[in-house]
């Protein structure tokens, strides 16, 4: 009888040690996953923002969807200017030449793949960015605005549930990780740094 009681107490102790270990491990694994996954999505959003800036340079506005963005980046030309001479010297024969370079080559030189712009790191195949572009009157001026983002639950996998908020007070799986704003001419991201 005493041996059975000792084995039972040993099993209970082992189970309690496992529960303590699991309760300590889960927040650490969550914090690591949040940092890793959010970092990858931020890098992708920065690439999309750069692509949107190139698109705007070509067309004068932002793209409202990825198909249009990709098509213009593949086929469009970026206008650049080359100054020959000295602008500060009035006596100099200064010329300004207009040059056109391929947007595709410019994007590629920045390390951005046009085909994978809408790829969501750690998201399933149905995960998509929310993208919008429009014009609005801001301080009596008509301006172009853009907003691209994704809900955190789309790339957090098993950590996309609300119960993980207890490990990070700022974590909300329903909130958007995004750049831009449809209500003001701003292309800043809402991530840290």
Mind listing the pLDDT tens digit for each residue in 14-32?
888 888 877 788 889 999 9
What's the average model confidence in pLDDT over 152-175?
92
pLDDT of residue 87: 67
Q: How many helices (H) and strands (E) does the chain have?
A: 3, 5
Q: Record the pTM.
A: 0.84
Q: Is residue 9 part of a domain?
A: yes
For 72-108, write each residue's pLDDT tens digit: 999 998 888 777 777 677 777 777 778 788 889 989 9
pLDDT of residue 118: 92
Q: Is residue 186 part of a domain?
A: no
pLDDT of residue 65: 95
pLDDT of 147 > 90? The answer is yes
Identify the CA nearest to 146 among candidates 44, 53, 40, 46. Answer: 53
pLDDT of residue 72: 94
- Specify the 3-state DSSP secondary structure of 177: strand
- Asked if 192 and 186 touch (Cβ cutoff 8 Å), the reply is no
- Specify the 3-state DSSP secondary structure of 52: helix
Domain count for the chain: 1
Range of the domain at 169: 2-74+120-180
pLDDT of 193 > 70? The answer is no
Q: Is residue 158 part of a domain?
A: yes
pLDDT of residue 85: 73
Q: Is residue 85 part of a domain?
A: no
pLDDT of 13 > 90? The answer is no
What's the average model confidence in pLDDT over 42-70?
95
* Residues in the chain, overall count: 193
What's the average model confidence in pLDDT over 131-159?
93
pLDDT averaged over every residue in the chain: 89
- Asked if 81 and 97 touch (Cβ cutoff 8 Å), the reply is yes
Q: Is residue 94 part of a domain?
A: no
**Residues near 118 by Cβ (< 8 Å), separated by ≥ 6?**
66, 128, 129
pLDDT of residue 86: 72
Q: Is residue 175 part of a domain?
A: yes
């Amino acid at each position: 009888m005493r041996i059975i009681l000792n084995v039972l107490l040993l099993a209970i102790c082992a189970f309690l040690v496992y529960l303590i270990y699991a309760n300590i491990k889960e927040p650490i694994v969550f914090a690591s996953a949040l940092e890793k996954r959010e970092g990858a999505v931020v890098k992708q959003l920065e690439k999309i923002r750069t692509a949107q800036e190139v698109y705007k340079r070509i067309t004068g506005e932002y793209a409202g969807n990825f198909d249009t963005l990709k098509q213009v980046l593949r086929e469009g030309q970026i206008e650049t200017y080359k100054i020959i001479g000295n602008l500060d010297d009035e006596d100099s024969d200064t010329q300004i030449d207009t040059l056109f370079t391929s947007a595709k080559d410019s994007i590629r030189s920045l390390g951005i793949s046009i085909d994978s712009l809408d790829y969501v790191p750690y998201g399933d195949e149905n995960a998509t960015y929310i993208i919008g572009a429009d014009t609005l009157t801001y301080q009596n001026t008509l301006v172009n605005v853009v907003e691209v983002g994704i809900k955190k639950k789309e790339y957090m996998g098993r950590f996309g549930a609300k119960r993980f908020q207890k490990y990070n007070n700022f974590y909300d799986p329903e909130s958007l990780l995004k750049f831009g704003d449809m209500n003001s001419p701003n292309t800043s991201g809402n991530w840290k740094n």
